[in-house]
A and B are shown apart, each in its own frame.
Chain A
């Protein structure tokens, strides 16, 4: 009989943890999605002008990976989905080094840049897609996009972008994990991550996480280049560039 009682008690005790596992402290008026007892951690801080997740004074924060295990050290645990894409609102005029601002020239490459950032929170992955038509004028003519990554060639009609630091023309910056590569893993995608090689296809992925999982904030710079030929139609060429973040959880 003692064995029976012990077995029943054992079952009962084994079931007890199911009451509290993975529960979020909450009431009708509040919820605490994450909590920690440490010197300086917080899940998220926001104001009108900034948003941040951070920790301070903890012994260890970060991801440790091997082929057989993965550990998240620190006070923030991945219990909810998170994605942030920030695009710096801007109008970018493509300029040549020696010509009038915003005027494309058959002899020189016109270029410009813009910035965006992605902040992921231990997602499986993220990808930044470009979903806009290339430069198009008021009559519907387009600057021919570079469909396979290639160099900028003045005199040949071309439109392309990439997300790295280029020398020819001298524009752009490499993806910048914030504050460093230990805390974020965004990078350029194939076709858009080689110096002085530009490409543009509507729908292409231009940036993504370089490791698994995707996490942290990475700042990107998009470099735009345009060349025209003798037969490029006149007009004001404009591109309303939309970026889409696709995050898999």
Chain B
């Protein structure tokens, strides 16, 4: 009985040992994948996204900014592998036309665990999981793991550039793998995740602003309001400025107040411009030659008169012209004669621009200023410096701008003074004005 009992005890003991062995094997089998998984499986990066700075297909030098939250808080972060694929899972194929390896480069990285070094693009290589030599879809970035002392996780960003986009519209999935060292060992994989960007067609939006040039030349009475716009200016039919009687005592400057005896018309000249020329405008002028005259054809002269070849002559029927150089000519001197033109000011009160600002020194009067004045069309006896384009029919610039001109009015005054020897006669000159705009 005792022996039987012992036998049963042994059998029972063996059965229990078998159960223990089976249980241990099962338990170990269950724990093995857990142990392995804990050493090789990576956590999923959260809040992960990618932002590109160009979305058109075939764009070059595309910049990718990756944002994500690092899950691992216990290891150094020293390596990143990016795989650019046409799908988020499975075999990775680089989208057609895409080139990520030739020019990719580090731009910035922020928020990463403290490290004295930034990430840098590795050359094509086969090191650990980084096999960019074989895989055209892969690029690898690393930094000095020896000095990587920080171990925190949380939000980080990494920006790279130099990527060439696919040649057709499609979504590109970028698989991101973070490593604790810079030799990309499989056992050093920390976190990973996939982001997506879309390369798409561009929209082309068009609208044309038509070129516009509205220019008007007119004679305006001193008492009249400046025309509100170029159309109103164009409706003015008066183009004559009459200085009336010119003598040797004073300079006659338009507008010359009309009296019962002087024959003047109290007019002055205006040049009104409106243009949307992007590169600006130039208003120039030239006197029209007296076709029937001789010598000094562009001077203020009696029609068809024969003048001396030298315009310094004070006894012919051609006024001595003011200079088109320096500060111009003061024609107020005694015993001299002179004729010229000056830009009194540019009236900018009608439009929205103050663009016509440049003028030659010999056309800006005594004050060297063409800025808007309250009433710059009033003749000023002290304004006696004039200029004149007398030597050629080539147009000479009066004023110019570097941009759009909106209803600006150039006020042009004429001045003349006779010498005691200046012959009598009806003196005249026709001036032509040209507005040249550059779109």
B37 contacts partner chain A, Cβ-Cβ < 8 Å: yes
Query: Are the C-beta atoms of A240 and B56 separated by less than 8 Å?
Result: yes
What is the chain A residue whose CB lies nearest that of B201?
Answer: A89
Q: What is the CA–CA distance of A80 and B85 in the complex, to the nearest angstrom?
A: 13
Interface residue count on the A side (C-beta < 8 Å): 72
Query: Are the C-beta atoms of B202 and A103 separated by less than 8 Å?
Result: no
Chain B residues closer than 8 Å to A243, beta-carbon distance: 55, 200, 203
Q: What is the CA–CA distance of A240 and B198 in the complex, to the nearest angstrom?
A: 17
Query: Are the C-beta atoms of B206 and A92 separated by less than 8 Å?
Result: yes
A141 contacts partner chain B, Cβ-Cβ < 8 Å: yes
> B1-59: which have CB < 8 Å to A?
16, 19-20, 23-24, 26-27, 29-31, 33-34, 37, 47-56
A1-41 near B? 1/0 per residue, CB < 8 Å: 10011001101111110110000101000010100000000
Query: Are the C-beta atoms of B197 and A92 separated by less than 8 Å?
Result: no
Min CB–CB distance B179 → chain A (angstroms) = 20
Q: What is the CA–CA distance of A16 and B27 in the complex, to the nearest angstrom?
A: 9
Query: Are the C-beta atoms of B49 and A235 separated by less than 8 Å?
Result: no
With known contacts A104-B209, A236-B208, A242–B202 Cβ distance under 8 A: yes
Partner of A230, one of B206, B352, B403: B352
Query: Are the C-beta atoms of B206 and A233 separated by less than 8 Å?
Result: no
Interface residue count on the B side (C-beta < 8 Å): 62
Query: Are the C-beta atoms of B203 and A234 separated by less than 8 Å?
Result: no
Q: Among B50, B208, B274, which residue has the most Cβ atoms of chain A within 10 A?
A: B208
Interface of A is mostly: mixed
Name the segment of B188-196, B360-368, B381-389 touching the other chain: B188-196
Partner of A81, one of B37, B195, B198, B204: B195
A245 contacts partner chain B, Cβ-Cβ < 8 Å: yes
Query: Are the C-beta atoms of B47 and A5 separated by less than 8 Å?
Result: no
B425 contacts partner chain A, Cβ-Cβ < 8 Å: no
With known contacts A244-B55, A249-B49, A238–B27 Cβ distance under 8 A: no
Name the segment of A131-139, A144-152, A167-175, A180-188 touching the other chain: A131-139
A248 contacts partner chain B, Cβ-Cβ < 8 Å: yes
Partner of B204, one of A14, A15, A26, A238: A238
Query: Are the C-beta atoms of B89 and A24 separated by less than 8 Å?
Result: yes
> A103-121: which have CB < 8 Å to B?
103-104, 110, 112, 114, 116
Measured CB to CB, the residues of B under 8 A from A are 16, 19-20, 23-24, 26-27, 29-31, 33-34, 37, 47-56, 67, 88-90, 169, 171, 173, 193-198, 200-212, 274, 276-279, 351-353, 403-404, 406-407, 439
Measured CB to CB, the residues of A under 8 A from B are 1, 4-5, 8-9, 11-16, 18-19, 24, 26, 31, 33, 80-94, 102-104, 110, 112, 114, 116, 124, 129, 131, 135, 137, 139, 141, 143, 222, 224, 226, 228-249
